[in-house]
Structure 1
Amino acid sequence: MQLSGVGVSPGRVAGPRVVVAADLREPASSPAPDDLLAEAGKIGPATEAVASSLSDRARSVSSDARSVLETTAAMAADPALAASAERLVRERSLPAPRAVWEAAGEFMTALRAAGGYLAERAADVADVRDRIVAVLSGQAPPGLPELTSPSVLVARDLAPADTAGLDPDLVLALVTEEGGPTSHTAILARALGIPAVVACAGVLELSGPGLAVDGAAGTVSSSDGRVLAPPRTPRPAWDGVGRLADGHRVKLLANVGSSADARAAAAAGAEGIGLFRTEFCYLSAASEPAEAEQRAAYAAVLEPFAGKPVVVRTLDAGSDKPLAFLPMGEEPNPALGVRGLRVAFDRPDLLDRQLSAIAAAAADTGAELSVMAPMVATAAEAAWFASRARAAGIARVGVMIEIPAAALCAAEILAEVDFVSLGTNDLAQYVFAADRQLGAVASLNDPHQPALLKLVGLVAEAGAATGKPVGVCGEAAADPSLAPVLTGLGVTSLSMNAVALAGVGTALRAVDLATCRALA
């Protein structure tokens, strides 16, 4: 029997199957603790222990995996999670493990509602939750089984701390029932050169001692358990400069959402920040952060890139990305509702305060600032945003192309701004009418889809005609097999998670511009 999923890292292998254990059991909500203050006091040390353990692991692994572990450690150390759990102990008399479980659940619900990249980070929060609960309840922390021979790992999903510790000599392939092209499983599998298939429904029920995996075709089938794998070619070192074999430059930038992300990206050799998701700074805010608070938060992210280019995206929020201080009401179809820049049309004061804080943070750190707006549909919207950004003293202004209408009118939009950046994750789901979080339609969100690439080419042609840069900051940019195609279409920069930089940089160094154009 053959199953189909989404192939996210190429390669054909077979070997014995090893199933990763399920998550921890949900902790009980009783009995109530005798001493609520003492019970609440257990949570802080437990979160610190988990964050310290993950940080220690981060220091012991390669740069490809380090950024993932550092980001997970930062989640564990987030004071908002601990504070929420402590409040649940005091107000509802919950045991500490249950309080952490419920507090994490609130964060996960908000992330899943946000969709896209943020929704896939809900799995990261679940991993942190399980590790903290394990410490509080005296259990062994969740994680991968110890491998003694080459095997195919199978799981419902894999946590970032698990994927970051994979040994490519022992892991023949990765297969998960859940996840998508932008999950940590996909990103790290590509970075490590491990064949991988995600969103493969039913794989945990396959019988037989082994699995055969085709990471390019996205297929998985039962096998006799014998190891069949071609030798892996060691990946050459990347020198941190994005260019082709003939010297043609393609800037390789990082997508970040926190100061930990930024530090990891700088350590991985990113030439700058191509997408700073500022909404990460708002997720736990009950009210709009003061301008000074925003300034400090943004500066912490920009500081590792002093003197280098950074592109800051203004708040990407709305009905499908709920923020406590921005009640938007019910909408029948949130993905097509008030989100991104559309929020600012009714609340321009919110945008103006953010732009002011961004400009001040850039001045504080010496970063070479650009700003861009999300979910822009028309040239008029681009012009409206550009005028407000320039009024805030920001010289370089762009917008994201993630709505098909914007791609089709890229020339008109580029007449109003200095650059554009293609958000291929959202653009794909709108082009194919396919929710990018739904496994059943995951193949339509594959960035190799011709219709999506035709739109990328159309936007790149408009950029070349106007002499303005066109970047890609969706996870399409993180695929080493697709990076030469995007370059051949005319894309001038690629922005991705830090773990993907070396793989993409190496892939580009192996081809010249003529080859890229032929591939496109």
Structure 2
Amino acid sequence: MSTTDTRQQDEEMRLRGTPASRGAAVGPVVRVPAPLGEPAAGPEVPGERRETEAARIAPAAAEVGARLMALGGRPGLDPEVANVLFATSMMAEDPALLDAATAQVREHGTPPARAVYEAAARFVAQLRAAGGYMAERAGDVADVRDRLVAELLGVPAPGVPPLDGPSVLVARDLAPADTATLEPATALALVTEEGGPTSHTAILARSLGVPAVVGCPGAAGLADGTLVRVDGAAGTVETVPAGTAVGADRSAAGPTTVDGPVTTTDGHRVAVVANIAEAKDAERAAAVGAEGVGLLRTELTFLSAATEPSPPDQRAGYAATMAPLHGRPVTARTLDAGADKPVPFLAMAPEPNPALGVRGQRVFDRGAADHDGVLDRQLAALVGGAVDAGVRLKVMAPMIATAAEARRFVARARAAGAGEVGVMIEVPAAVLGARELLAEVDFVSVGTNDLTQYLFAADRQSGALAGLNDPWQPALLRLLEQLCREAAVSGTPVGVCGEAAADPDLAVVLVGLGVTSLSASPAALPAVAARIAASDLDACRRAASAALAAPDAATARASAGAAASPGLTSP
């Protein structure tokens, strides 16, 4: 690297953001450039060339969409990031956007790149004016716009620049398409000014196993080449002296495998299981010693399919995914379609607020008639695939709000041959109605990502609202405590499969609340298991009580750490 690349700022700097992915690393800053600016408004396209220039837009959009779809289909990609890439690829070929841009070229002679920019600007303005969930989608349109403009201009698409060596990436935010191609060998750590602990940047960082700090004010002040140390557990970014060794900070390294079965020091049993979406994830889970799977995401089979996959194909696919975990329990979530996970063959009607609309199990309870049978065929394929793979299958439905919805799902799952049936707890109403709901199911699993955003009415992808989506929020913990209290009466197991389970400090609090299983990405499991194994149940309960009594998320984290010894260390 050049002298510029290795220089250090004269003034020491220490920034604090939101911890997003544990671990620590030292490396030179590489800033991700801002998106493309406005393309030129002229010169006007001559009349005889307008049709030719207008005709360039659709193929360019198809190329952009194909690249995003290919990124989403990369083996081993985090499922939630893949979901967004698939959705964004469809947005790139949105007929309304392309028709508006094409008409602008034909009727006014606007250059194609400028026409796309102006058409997208109108869509962005409309989305922002709509507010709520729709306003948060404006950034997705802008990302597609910039990629399409770059394609039409014949310049590189915006995103992460080529990395000449191990680096710390610093950006305002990172789109899933930017992060999908990162390699831990060169992207040592990620720092963003926006985003929260459940943003796609944070989720992907944990999947890659690289440290990350998000929602970090002042990150823009870090110049290219500045040598920094990123601590993803403490949420800090600080400059270090020139000559400090570049690479992963092994002093922050933790255990690499789960020494299971996992119990507290006084023998209290806690299942430590994995979140997976495909066979490679299952292989990683088995390699680190996961006791099973707490969340098998099944929608990747469907997201890019123009027609419903056949039952034999589904069965074979599920069997291949589960096979590396032969003999262990696997909990599969049925198709979670809708909102940011569009499934083309379901032909779902547009909604003004998809996140609060027909999504998850609601697709099959309240969807169109042509959805009939899709869920039942998936359930049968899961049951058959589990038999083929030799695993103990449990199934659960997403987006359940009432006991009646749970009852209907349980009946359908049992009719398909499922033995253990539960539901996801992602809607606050499900907790408030837990007494009735728990009577219908064998177990429940809390999706803290969705539960938090619905509890606070705060889109988890919004950087401005990252603080509200912090899983240490006392209001969320109090909701979980209420659920666990009701579950203890009914004897119903309560798992957590949201990203909260990936935080070892928070995992101890969850155990203290009464959670019986914790499910996270395979890379996060060893640290979670080690923290539980180093704590006794009383310490977990003290930590939970301290967090519940706190006035805010930061105090909850600090108070929990101070309340228990051994067990928690405040960052």
TM-score, normalised to structure 2, is 0.65
Which residue is 1:266 aligned to?
A: 286
Question: Are residues 464 and 364 of structure 1, via their aligned partners in 2, closer, same or farther at CA, if it must alter by over 3 Å?
Answer: same
Query: Any residues of structure 2 matched to 1:429-468 within 5 Å, and which?
Result: 429-468=453-492
Contact 1:277/1:312 (8 A) holds in 2: yes
Which residue is 1:388 aligned to?
A: 412
Question: Are residues 323 and 152 of structure 1, via their aligned partners in 2, closer, same or farther at CA, if it must alter by over 3 Å?
Answer: closer
Alpha-carbon separation, structure 1, partners of 2:277 and 2:179: 16
Which residue is 1:59 aligned to?
A: none
Which residue is 1:165 aligned to?
A: 184
Which residue is 2:325 aligned to?
A: 305
1:334 aligns with 2:350: no
Any idea what SS the aligned residue of 2:373 has? Answer: helix
Structure 2: 5+ residue runs without aligned partners? 1-12, 38-51, 54-61, 94-132, 545-571
Query: Any residues of structure 2 matched to 1:275-290 within 5 Å, and which?
Result: 275-290=295-310
1:398 aligns with 2:422: yes
Question: Are residues 146 and 505 of structure 1, via their aligned partners in 2, closer, same or farther at CA, if it must alter by over 3 Å?
Answer: farther
Any idea what SS the aligned residue of 1:358 has? Answer: helix
Could you give the per-residue CA deviations for residues 290-319 of structure 1, whole angstroms, max 9, x where no partner exists?
Answer: 222222222221222222111111111135
Q: Give the Å deviation of 1:265.
A: 2.1
1:154 aligns with 2:175: no
1:6 aligns with 2:18: yes
Contact 1:341/1:373 (8 A) holds in 2: yes
Q: Give the Å deviation of 1:412.
A: 1.5
1:203 aligns with 2:227: no
Alignment match of 1:244 (pick from 260, 263, 266):
263
Q: How many residues align?
A: 454
Contact 1:163/1:188 (8 A) holds in 2: no
Structure 1: 5+ residue runs without aligned partners? 32-39, 56-66, 86-114
Higher Rg: 2
Alpha-carbon separation, structure 1, partners of 2:394 and 2:78: 28
Contact 2:427/2:450 (8 A) holds in 1: yes
Could you give the per-residue CA deviations for residues 178-233 of structure 1, whole angstroms, max 9, x where no partner exists?
Answer: 55424575357669997531144663355594668675675668x58668999825
Question: Are residues 504 and 187 of structure 1, via their aligned partners in 2, closer, same or farther at CA, if it must alter by over 3 Å?
Answer: farther
Alpha-carbon separation, structure 2, partners of 1:323 and 1:261: 22
Alpha-carbon separation, structure 2, partners of 1:394 and 1:211: 52
Alpha-carbon separation, structure 2, partners of 1:212 and 1:363: 48
1:366 aligns with 2:385: no
Alpha-carbon separation, structure 2, partners of 1:455 and 1:467: 18
Which residue is 1:315 aligned to?
A: 335
Contact 2:502/2:521 (8 A) holds in 1: yes
Could you give the per-residue CA deviations for residues 420-470 of structure 1, whole angstroms, max 9, x where no partner exists?
Answer: 000001000000110011111012111111111111112122222111210
Contact 2:258/2:525 (8 A) holds in 1: no
Any idea what SS the aligned residue of 2:251 has? Answer: coil
Alignment match of 1:498 (pick from 514, 522, 547):
522
1:174 aligns with 2:190: yes
Contact 2:193/2:218 (8 A) holds in 1: yes
Query: Any residues of structure 2 matched to 1:481-492 within 5 Å, and which?
Result: 481-492=505-516
Alpha-carbon separation, structure 2, partners of 1:475 and 1:448: 11
Question: Are residues 383 and 259 of structure 1, via their aligned partners in 2, closer, same or farther at CA, if it must alter by over 3 Å?
Answer: same
Q: Give the Å deviation of 1:175.
A: 1.0
Question: Are residues 199 and 163 of structure 1, via their aligned partners in 2, closer, same or farther at CA, if it must alter by over 3 Å?
Answer: farther
Given residue 291 of structure 1, which amino acid in structure 2 is its aligned partner?
A: P
Alpha-carbon separation, structure 2, partners of 1:444 and 1:258: 31
Contact 1:254/1:496 (8 A) holds in 2: yes
Any idea what SS the aligned residue of 2:538 has? Answer: helix
Question: Are residues 444 and 144 of structure 1, via their aligned partners in 2, closer, same or farther at CA, if it must alter by over 3 Å?
Answer: farther
Contact 2:358/2:366 (8 A) holds in 1: no
Which residue is 1:324 aligned to?
A: 344
Given residue 307 of structure 2, which amino acid in structure 1 is its aligned partner?
A: S
Given residue 274 of structure 1, which amino acid in structure 2 is its aligned partner?
A: G
Given residue 359 of structure 2, which amino acid in structure 1 is its aligned partner?
A: R
Alpha-carbon separation, structure 2, partners of 1:68 and 1:155: 21
Given residue 405 of structure 2, which amino acid in structure 1 is its aligned partner?
A: E
Could you give the per-residue CA deviations for residues 307-355 of structure 1, whole angstroms, max 9, x where no partner exists?
Answer: 2111111111135432111122222221111111111114542222222
Contact 2:22/2:233 (8 A) holds in 1: yes
Query: Any residues of structure 2 matched to 1:107-122 within 5 Å, and which?
Result: none
Any idea what SS the aligned residue of 1:453 has? Answer: helix
Q: Give the Å deviation of 1:406.
A: 0.3
